[in-house]
Amino acid sequence: MRERDTTGISLASKDGFLLKLELLSDPKLLFVVRGALERLTEVFGFSPPDRRSVTRAVDEALTNIMRHCYKGRTDQPIELCCSRVPPRSSEQADGLEILLCDQGPAIDPAKLRGRRLDEIKPGGLGLHFIRQSMDTVEYRRVGTINQFRLVKYLQPSTQLHTP
């Protein structure tokens, strides 16, 4: 197999996405998404701990969509779009934006809270993990679509230089 010269090739597609996945709300597909995100965050230049954090945050968010928005139905659509975003300041490096979209019922943003950390019981920590792992966590409703936006910025010393 011949090697391709990839110098000068942008990581983004023509529509600006680094990666776009359309999947059904089947928990069996979480393994596929985790694998794709692990590789994407590696290519993007994140450190191993940050790669794990981003992958865990997206896994938690998708699990919440499957469990709470779609009530366990395994045939509902979810779209995951990953894009490069510019730094928020001159001291920062580029970031990876992950946009999760579903067609579940509208969510009251005030209810997007994990349980209290001092409560000893299983479950309810996913949102804490997501907020701890990501630099930006936002929810909005656009028409009939829920959009959950996650952003993680690279540490300036680890940013890859791409043309």
pLDDT in tens, the chain (163 residues): 344 343 443 444 455 789 999 999 999 999 999 999 999 999 999 999 999 999 999 999 999 999 999 999 999 999 999 999 998 888 788 999 999 999 999 987 676 555 455 555 445 556 888 999 999 999 999 999 999 999 999 987 644 544 4
**Nearest by Cα to 39 from 54, 57, 23, 24:** 54
List, for residues 65-86, the tens digit of each pLDDT value.
999 999 999 999 999 999 999 9
Residue 50 resides in a domain: yes
- The strand pair at 77-85 and 95-102 is best described as antiparallel
Task: Return the SS3 of 36.
Answer: helix
Contacts of 11-15 with C-beta under 8 Å, sequence gap 24+, read 11/43, 11/44, 11/84, 11/162, 12/83, 12/84
Residue 9 resides in a domain: no
The CATH number of whichever domain residue 26 belongs to comes to 3.30.565.10
For residue 89, the model assigns a pLDDT of 83
Residue 142 resides in a domain: yes
Domain interval for residue 109 = 17-158
Residue 11 resides in a domain: no
Residue 84 resides in a domain: yes
Handedness of CA 73, 74, 79, 81 (dihedral sign): positive
